[in-house]
Structure 1
Amino acid sequence: MPPVCTPFNEDLTVDVESLRRLVDHLIAGGVSGLFALGSSSEVVFLTRDQRRVVLQTVVDQAAGRVPILAGVIDTTTPRVLEHVADARAIGADGYVLTAPFYTRTHPNEIEQHFRLVKESVGDRPLFAYDLPISVQVKLATGFVLDLAEQGVLAGVKDSSGSDHSIRALVTGRDDRGLQGFSVLTGSEVTVDSAIGYGADGAVPGLGNVDPAGYTALVAKAAAGDAAGARHEQERLIRLFDIVNQGDLSRMGGGSAGIGSFKAALTLLGIFARPLMAPPQIQLNDTELEGVRRCLAGAGLI
């Protein structure tokens, strides 16, 4: 279930036609669903109007072929509730939420945040997004599973980068009999091991570029084909080198990472241009050539 990248026109409005092509590319690649307005969507850089355009376009173009999760990610509960209202009006199938950020929060405040949002989404599923590198808070395993037992959370996307975290979530879920609770990894490079531990799927940003590769990887891992899954994972690890083409002496990791996904999508003819939301920095021609080499090495061009 890839987090869908957001294409821009030259005037930094949302490039709706490129986004429609991306939705079709992802669904053709066999994805189980789409996560609109996630980190790879540059969600925190988008205005409320831009978020609505992105989500409406994804929902319309998917046309019921796969479920759509909407990121309702923002700094505080009142802002998040505005995004929930928009997503409900557009028709999202579920919602994805981080802990509040910018201010320091206590676990009691984070719990209240999740409960208030759950009240707003009603019977639609709510997924926790554990993203400590950006939010500066690691959601404790017990905290997440307690909210799952109480009907607040339907699943978690774990982007902590910790194998232990994934295994603890799976083990805790199974020990508590929470078989309907979904554990998803946000890592591009350890999907085979996460599925082997018992995770239910993956939400990889690189899945925008090679959705069919991740679909095949998850299927092989779930079927117990460890050798086949490892082979596909290692090919995708080599492709993931696209995120290392940006020069970190002149740009941040977000610009280099998401910028490489957008560059790849442009080289594949899906995006019209690889523009990033300001103040992020664009990849230059030398860096774009590095992305091209990675795509060629992975057999995509």
Structure 2
Amino acid sequence: MSDFETNLQLRGIVPPLVTPLLARDTLDIDGLERLLNHVIEGGVAGVFLLGTTGEAPSLGYRLRRELIQHSVRIVAGRVPVLVGVTDTAFVESVFLAEFAADCGADAAVLTTPYYFPAGQTELTAYVRNIAPLIPLPLMLYNMPGLTKVWFEIETLKRLSDLEQVIGVKDSSGDLDYFRSLCELKSERPDWSVLIGPEALLPEAMQAGGDGGVSGGANVMPETFVALFNAIASQDQTAIEQHLSKVKKFQAIYDVGKYASRHIKATKSALSLIGICKDLPADPFNRFLKPQRDQVAEILRSIGIHCK
């Protein structure tokens, strides 16, 4: 067990930050600063770098480190900074976590390793082996749609004795699984359990969840924070008002025809409101004008000004 505090508890909205790019392997530092200030001023409870929305597997290792270094500097302690350290290579995850810790990040986030699917026994051993080498509190991330492997509930139950693990982010979209996940808090009341699919936030919090890792909060953090607060205070009128806006916003994810459209749409929206450029990482292409116009129309329909 490493020598650090694991009392970080996350409750609220933690945007999985997009990675602003100027060119293929060039970070948009000015855009990153605008984006971080935008979400922090919007009231978020933390930021999550190098997740799915951040296109982490498509970014080079140098750029990942540059992103971490600049983000921690820009955030300057205003909110916790979580860093995705998932890699196909065990040691690369450790190296990135060490770098993030040296920069001053607050936690590491780890999915199941992808490409070669691991069995649950292998996965349990993997987390037990890697956790002592990661010098940060560790959040586990269930993303079976992309990694092909679940953190099964029994596996998480077995791993709940690891003090370093501070919670789980679930992007499966399976509410029965999420409810079972929340039941693990009877054994680990200190865990933060966060949901990925943003429109499920009310059901997730009703089940005992602590908030959401909501991609749309890159674009309209105030709305997601207001929705979280309304759910927390059980203000049904406000819940319906903010949830309606979130659901209308989600129409941007239906623009385009490829699986990459979620990232393209989010970056397109951010460029339309003047935060950062819309360039995605290779092999993806930015939206062309017809798709950008569709995104702009959706944003305007919910009261978001486009430049």
CA distance change for structure 1 residues 47 and 222 in 2, over 3 Å: closer, same or farther? same
Partner deviation per Cα, 1:30-86 (whole Å, 9 max, x = no partner): 001000111111100011100011111111110000010010011131221121122
Residue 196 of structure 1 corresponds to: 206
5+ residue gaps, structure 2: 1-13
Does the CA-based 8 Å contact 1:37-1:43 persist in structure 2?
yes
2:173 paired residue number: 161
Aligned equivalents of 1:112, 1:37: Cα separation in 2: 24
**Does 1:80 find its partner at 2:84?**
no
SS at match of 1:190: helix
Distance 2:242 2:103 in 1: 36
Q: Distance in 2 between matches of 1:11 and 1:81?
A: 25
**SS class of match (1:40):** coil
- Given the alignment, which residue of 224, 240, 243 partners 1:230? 240
C-alpha separation in 2, matches of 1:186 and 1:237: 14
User: Does residue 55 of structure 2 align to residue 42 of structure 1?
Assistant: yes
2:221 counterpart residue number? 211
CA-to-partner distance for each residue in 1:196-240, whole Å, 9 max, x for gaps?
211001001111011111101111111122332132112101101
1:187 aligned residue: 197
Measure how far apart 1:146 and its partner are: 2.4
Write the deviation string for residues 248-300 of structure 1: whole angstroms up to 9, x where unpaired: 1xxx212x1111111110010111x2101111122110000010011111211
Structure 1 residue ranges without an equivalent (≥5): none
Q: Distance in 2 between matches of 1:39 and 1:155?
A: 18
* Pairwise CA distance, 1:10: 3.4
The code of the aligned residue for 1:276 comes to: P
Which residue of structure 2 aligns with residue 134 of structure 1? Answer: 146
- Counterparts of 2:229 and 2:154, CA distance in 1: 29
In the TM superposition, residue 11 of structure 1 has moved relative to its aligned partner by: 5.0
Q: Secondary structure at the match of 2:139?
A: strand
Match of 1:24 in 2: 37
In the other structure, the counterpart of 1:253 is 259
- Cα-to-partner distance string for 1:138-160 (whole Å, 9 max, x where unaligned): 11112113212332421000000
Output one character per residue of 1:150-193: Cα deviation in whole Å (capped at 9) or x when no partner: 3242100000011111111112322x3x2101110011111111
8 A Cα contact 1:236 1:298, kept in partner:
no
Structure 1 CA distance, aligned partners of 2:236 and 2:179? 18
Offset, 1:117: 2.4
CA RMSD of aligned residues (A): 1.3
Aligned length: 292
Equivalent position of 1:221 in the other structure: 231
